[in-house]
Amino acid sequence: MSNRIGVIDYGGGNLQNVLNVLSHIGHPGSLVSSPEDLENVDKLIFPGVGSFGDCIEEIDRKNLRGALIDWLEADKPFFGICLGYQVLFESSEESPDAKGLGFFKGQVVKFPGDMGLKVPHMGWNKVEPLDSDLYIWKGSPDPLFLYFVHSFFPRPENREIISSQAEYGDAFASSIASGNIFAGQFHPERSQDAGLRLVQNFLEREI
């Protein structure tokens, strides 16, 4: 089974954390900083910390937009984390002028400030898989708690791609799945054993 793991280098601060996690579970990864780098990997992780606009600007600066869309359209294995989940959609209220990858229809919206919620949503939250038989959830504890740090979340137009929900005020799409593409708003690299299990399931799945 080929398992060359690429980690998108979008200029953010948590790249080393993700690389450390990959090494810890026996699947060392390499940074992807150009379209050419994608030719040398079989599975792709797009982590993200920071703003939607800055992330998209860096992706465009490195000419990665077209290559990423090609990867997604080919249904190659992809795991998006936090911003790496949000950029799959068309736009974000955080950066109205920035154009997302638009692979999925929908907008990234901010938690409402009139519900008495602390924003950003930060800490452990219960995640409810909608299809517990999906490969990514294999071996997950029940109930499943994962770690979140975010003020914005995607609102997919196609409800059928929603893979899990979490509640913060109202229920929101904490992850999506479509073919070999999976992405979630939580941080598996900060979610201890439960998060490591998700990453392992992604990496060890045979395509």
Active site positions, annotated:
82, 187, 189
d(CA 74, CA 63): 18
C-alpha torsion 168→171→174→178, nearest 10: -170
d(CA 181, CA 170): 25
Structure tokens belonging to residue 83: 């911003």
- With contact defined as beta carbons under 8 Å apart, do 146 and 108 qualify? no
Query: How does strand 43-46 pair with strand 5-8?
Result: parallel
**Sequence-separated (6 or more) residues with CB below 8 Å from residue 40:** 4, 6, 30
Cβ count within 10 A of residue 23: 11
Q: Distance of CA 176 to CAs 102, 157, 186, 193, 194, Å?
A: 14, 12, 12, 21, 18
